[in-house]
Structure 1
Amino acid sequence: MIFDFLKHNVEIFIIIILGIMSFIALWYFVERLIFYKKVDVSIYKTQTQLEEDLTKNLTSLYIIYSNAPYIGLLGTVCGIMITFYDMGASEGIDAKSIMVGLSLALKATALGLLVAIPTLMIYNGLLRKVDVIINKFKVEKDEAK
């Protein structure tokens, strides 16, 4: 039955998805830091070309930080559904098992936030670095005139 499948696998799927999202966020963060450290603004003819190169992969970080809480929430909703299903299927209602089920369900939301918050901080930090590099480009172009 679908609830048995969810009961045994939903937590694993949510953790795997959030793990992949956090790995991608970390990968893009490191890649962008290396690129920003090595970027030479003098090779760019236009600001648009520079902006395209500087903002590469930032959209992916935006998608990760904006959707990770929803992935966690999906896990929480599934966990609560499973807990309610178990409550309805059992003969006696045990408060301990209900609380354990709900606390495990909320773990998914916490994991989603654990992925989203650092990714948001990384995204904003990288946007600031983009602004600084673009300003450096503008200064060099103004000095060259």
Structure 2
Amino acid sequence: MDWLKQTIDLGVIGVLVTMSIIALSVILERALFYRQLTLTDYTSKKALELALTRRLHIIATIGSNAPFIGLLGTVLGIMLTFYTMGQQGAVDTHAIMTGLALALKVTAIGLVIAIPTVAFYNVLIRRAKEMLLEWEIHHEREGI
């Protein structure tokens, strides 16, 4: 059953690492885009809003789902621990605690990915709203 435990661990952790790389890539891309954006290039508020919010849903999805994927890994790890206990027929507290501790690490990884991802999402959303308001203020001043 060790192969199954490693498959679960590596599979779930692999998914979480992939999600974190995708989130980091989108966060960096959006931050660079916001830094280089010239508001006067846009004549339509809707076009600006579309450009500002592009791909933000990816960050939100990863941030909200990473803990659940981590929890799935934990549940699978706990199930595997109980299965192993049942197959061995003896209750070894050392093996149980080790199995449960290893299972919980996946939830911790999911939280480590989710917390900063959600924080960055909120920062990017706030910056997008600020830029939209700056665009509106500029167009009001210009009488456009």
Please, what TM-score do these two structures have when normalized by structure 1?
A: 0.95
Residue 134 of structure 2 is aligned to residue 144 of structure 1:
no
Partner of residue 65 from structure 2, selected from 64, 67, 74: 67
RMSD over aligned Cα, in angstroms?
Answer: 1.0
Partner of residue 34 from structure 1, selected from 11, 32, 35: 32
Residue 90 of structure 2 is aligned to residue 92 of structure 1:
yes
Partner of residue 126 from structure 1, selected from 119, 124, 127: 124
1:4 Cα deviation (Å)?
Answer: 5.7
Runs of 4+ residues over 2 Å off in structure 1 = 3-6
* Structure 2 residue aligned with 1:103: 101
* Structure 2 residue aligned with 1:23: 21
Q: Aligned partners of 1:53 and 1:27: how far apart in 2?
A: 17
Q: Aligned partners of 1:56 and 1:68: how far apart in 2?
A: 21
Structure 1 unmatched runs, 5+: none
Q: Aligned partners of 1:110 and 1:14: how far apart in 2?
A: 12
1:8 Cα deviation (Å)?
Answer: 2.6
Query: Can you list the C-alpha shifts for 1:70-123, whole angstroms capped at 9, x where unaligned?
Result: 100110000000000010000321000000000000011001101100000000
1:6 Cα deviation (Å)?
Answer: 2.8
**How many aligned positions are there?**
143
Q: What is the identity, as a one-letter code, of the residue corresponding to 1:75? A: G
Q: Aligned partners of 2:4 and 2:43: how far apart in 1?
A: 54
Residue pair 1:58, 1:123 contacting (<8 A) in 2 also: yes
Please, what TM-score do these two structures have when normalized by structure 2?
A: 0.96
Q: Aligned partners of 1:83 and 1:93: how far apart in 2?
A: 11
Query: Can you list the C-alpha shifts for 1:115-140, whole angstroms capped at 9, x where unaligned?
Result: 10000000000011001111110011
1:43 Cα deviation (Å)?
Answer: 1.3
Residue pair 1:6, 1:78 contacting (<8 A) in 2 also: no
* Structure 2 residue aligned with 1:77: 75
